């Protein structure tokens, strides 16, 4: 069968998806109506037309505005359920989902409302389809470390509902080391650690994410190739990169998909994976990312197999479950 068919049908894990970034314009409008929240856009089409991003910050402004319609536990369930159905259709067997509690708690939504709604959808997917999922709580790096500590404190009663922490939002000017102490505390708590680094920010942020935060994976990380020693280190230590090609295109990290460095990353021996990041905003879920990237780059069947394998290798599944997929 064709390579396109192979990449679509192969079992895969998704490791870089912000659940708030899966909120489709149609659901934003439905929730705005249900919750009597006013929107600055007259229609779904008008909102979609605003999705013309020039960089990370221009996206984040609209992404946080979109999330303002999320108020109840059912809202968080509905958003997550819609994503899980799309992921299932793309043959995603396992997903590790980011959520941004501070985006909601700063609007007066309780932490429990957020995590209970998202987690209920994960339980439902496991019960109905045998699909596995886990949550990674992200700290917003444009806010203070003190704010991150307060969020961790709120999260501790729900420690059994998430497996790790990450770092997202505006990268430039907010280096990993800003969160050194809160990540050290999370490590003591036995949480998995990841961070966005080297998306817009320099390779030095990838290094401090590893050395200061002690993360196990780098989210994005595509700028690592600017530093040959760092690239060798990532390969040697098998530090996975959760790459998001359509995100890089839409946020103008690259001008065209054929300029993406995914093949160079794989050729350098890195554990690179393909992920959707914010699929409702960047024009595609997992298989859209796979198909468009395979169309744009000279990737072959062996690369498809490597990417699928990398996605499970890089996951936080327990060793025996992981082994079954490798
Ligand atoms: N980068 C940083 N913060 C984010 C992203 C991203 O790609 N998506 C959602 N929050
Ligand atoms: Zn991201």
Q: What is the CATH number of the domain that holds 52?
A: 3.20.20.140
- Measured in whole angstroms, how far is the alpha carbon of residue 290 from the centre of its chain? 15
19 phi/psi in degrees, rounded to 5? -60, -35
Which DSSP category does 228 fall into? H
Residue 205 maps to a domain: yes
pLDDT of residue 140: 98
Residue 54 maps to a domain: yes
pLDDT of residue 275: 99
Residue 5 maps to a domain: no
Residues in contact with 123: Cβ distance below 8 Å, sequence separation at least 6, in sequence order: none
Residue 23 maps to a domain: yes
Residue 278 maps to a domain: yes
pLDDT of residue 82: 99
Does the pLDDT at position 238 exceed 90? yes
Domain region containing 312: 14-325
CA 126–ligand 2 middle distance (angstroms): 24
Does the pLDDT at position 138 exceed 90? yes
Does the pLDDT at position 1 exceed 90? no
* CA-based nearest residue to 282, from 13, 66, 75, 33: 66
Residues in contact with 163: Cβ distance below 8 Å, sequence separation at least 6, in sequence order: 96, 134, 135, 136, 191, 192, 316
Q: What's the rounded mean pLDDT across residues 245-256?
A: 98
Q: What's the rounded mean pLDDT across residues 147-173?
A: 98
Does the pLDDT at position 152 exceed 90? yes
Residue 2 maps to a domain: no
Provide the domain count of the chain.
Answer: 1
pLDDT of residue 192: 99
What residue ranges line ligand 1, CB within 6 angstroms? 18, 21, 56, 168-169, 196, 199, 247, 277-278
Report percent pLDDT > 90 for the chain.
100
Mutate to test the pocket of ligand 1, among 22, 58, 60 (most ligand atoms within 8 A of CB): 60
Contact 208, 193 (CB under 8 A): no
Q: Measure the CA–CA gap between 176 and 166, rounded to whole angstroms.
A: 10
pLDDT band at 320; cut points 50, 70, 90: very high
pLDDT of residue 282: 98
**199 flagged as catalytic:** yes
| Tens digit of each residue's pLDDT (9 = 90 or more) over 79-136 | 999 999 999 999 999 999 999 999 999 999 999 999 999 999 999 999 999 999 999 9
Q: What's the rounded mean pLDDT across residues 279-293?
A: 98
Residue 303 maps to a domain: yes
Residue 159: CB atoms within 10 A of its CB come to 12
| Tens digit of each residue's pLDDT (9 = 90 or more) over 2-55 | 999 999 999 999 999 999 999 999 999 999 999 999 999 999 999 999 999 999
Residue 7 maps to a domain: no
């Amino acid at each position: 069968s064709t390579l396109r068919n192979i990449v679509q049908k192969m079992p895969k894990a998704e490791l870089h998806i912000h659940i708030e970034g899966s909120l489709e314009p149609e659901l934003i409008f439905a929730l705005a109506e249900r919750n009597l929240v006013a929107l600055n856009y007259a229609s779904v089409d008008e909102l979609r037309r605003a999705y013309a991003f020039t960089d990370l910050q221009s996206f984040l402004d609209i992404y946080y505005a979109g999330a303002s319609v999320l108020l109840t536990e059912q809202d968080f369930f509905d958003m997550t359920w819609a994503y899980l159905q799309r992921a299932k259709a793309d043959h995603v067997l396992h997903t590790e989902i980011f959520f941004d509690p501070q985006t909601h708690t700063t609007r007066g939504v309780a932490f429990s409302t957020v995590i209970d709604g998202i987690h209920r959808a994960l339980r439902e997917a496991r019960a109905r389809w045998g699909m596995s999922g886990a949550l990674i709580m992200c700290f917003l790096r444009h806010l203070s470390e003190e704010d991150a500590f307060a969020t961790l404190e709120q999260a501790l009663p729900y420690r059994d509902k998430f497996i790790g922490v990450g770092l997202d939002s505006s990268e430039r000017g907010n280096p990993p080391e800003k969160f050194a102490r809160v990540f050290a505390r999370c490590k003591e708590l036995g949480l998995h650690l990841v961070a966005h680094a080297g998306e817009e920010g320099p390779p030095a942020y990838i290094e401090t994410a590893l050395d200061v935060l002690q993360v196990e994976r780098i989210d994005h990380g595509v700028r690592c190739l600017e530093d040959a020693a760092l690239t060798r280190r990532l390969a040697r230590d098998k530090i996975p990169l959760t790459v998001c090609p359509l995100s890089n295109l839409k946020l103008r990290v690259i001008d065209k998909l054929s300029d993406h460095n995914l093949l160079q990353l794989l050729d350098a021996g890195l554990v690179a994976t393909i992920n959707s990041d914010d699929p409702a905003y960047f024009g595609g879920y997992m298989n859209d990312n796979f198909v468009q990237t395979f169309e744009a780059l000279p990737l072959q069947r062996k690369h498809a197999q490597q990417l699928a394998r990398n996605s499970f290798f890089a996951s936080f599944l327990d060793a025996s479950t992981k082994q079954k997929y490798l």
